[in-house]
Amino acid sequence: MLHFVSDIIDFFARHLWGNYGIALLIVTVIVRLLVLPLMVKQIRVSKMMQQMQPELQKIRAKYKGDTQKIQQETMKLYQEAGINPMAGCLPMLIQLPILYALFGAIEGNVGLYHYTFLSIFYLGKPDHYYILPLLAAVTTYLSSRVTMSGSDPQQRMMLLIMPVFIFLLGSRFPAGLALYWIYSNIFTTVQTYFIRVRPMQREQAASGK
C-alpha cells in the first residue's frame, strides 16, 4: 500500500515537472472522489438531523436539567428515525488509514522528502513554523462546521476534537500530510456546497415563491 501510494505520487510529479505539491493535490482529489458516496450519506444524515431539531428542542424543554434523560431520549429518537449521529465523522475516520499510507509514502519517497512547497515547507519534514498544521486544523473545523448540522453534543464534541487532533498530527508528522489535509478540507467544503448548500438554497427560494 505504501509503495503503491508513493508510486502514484511519483507518477503525477513526473508529469508535472517534479511539482510534488500539485501531485499531492491530484491524489487528494482521487481520494475524495473515492469517499464521495460516504460524503453524500453524511450530508443526508446531517439534513435529517436538521429536520429533527424541533423534536430535539421539545426533549430538552421537557427534561430540562436532566442531562442523562435528555441523552437517552435523544438517542431513542435517532434510533427510531434510523439515524447514526456519528455518521458525520465517518469520512474523516475512513481517511485515517490513507493518512498512514501517505505518511509512509512521504517518509520513504526521496523526491517528495526533499521537495519544498512554495519554497518554504519541506513536505518530507514536520513544519516547525506550524503554519500548515494550523491551516489544516482551521480548515478541518470549517469543513466540519459546514458539513455537520444541529446542536447534538456528540457532534459539537467532534467539531472541537478533530481540529486539535489534526493539528497535533500535522505538527508531528511530515508537512505533506498537513498539505493533504488542507486540500481535502477545501475539496470537502466545495463538495458540500454543491451537494447540500446549493440545493437547500434552491428549495428555500422555491418555497418563498
In which residue are the cell numbers 498537513 written?
178
Ordered DSSP codes for 2-70: HHHHHHHHHHHHHTTTT-HHHHHHHHHHHHHHHTHHHHHHHHHHHHHHHHTHHHHHHHHHHTTT-HHHH
Alpha helices in 63-152 (DSSP H): 67-81, 90-94, 96-108, 110-113, 131-147
Cell of 63: 427534561
DSSP state of 85: G
pLDDT, tens digit, 9 for 90 and up, residues 64-113 = 888 888 888 888 888 888 777 666 666 667 767 877 777 788 777 888 88
d(C-alpha 31, C-alpha 1), whole Å: 14
pLDDT, tens digit, 9 for 90 and up, residues 15-27 = 999 999 999 999 9
Long-range contacts of 118-123 (CB under 8 A, 24+ apart): 118/21, 121/175, 121/179, 122/175, 123/20, 123/21, 123/24, 123/174, 123/175, 123/176, 123/179
Contact 173, 17 (CB under 8 A): no
Contact 191, 39 (CB under 8 A): yes
Contacts of 133 (CB under 8 A, 6+ apart): 127, 166, 167, 168, 169, 170, 171, 178
Residue 143 pLDDT greater than 80, yes or no: yes
pLDDT, tens digit, 9 for 90 and up, residues 31-66 = 888 888 877 777 777 777 777 888 888 888 888 888
Specify the pTM: 0.76
Q: What is the pLDDT of residue 154?
A: 64
Q: Is the dihedral of CA 29, 32, 37, 39 positive or negative?
A: negative
pLDDT, tens digit, 9 for 90 and up, residues 167-187 = 998 999 889 989 999 999 999
Q: What is the pLDDT of residue 149?
A: 58
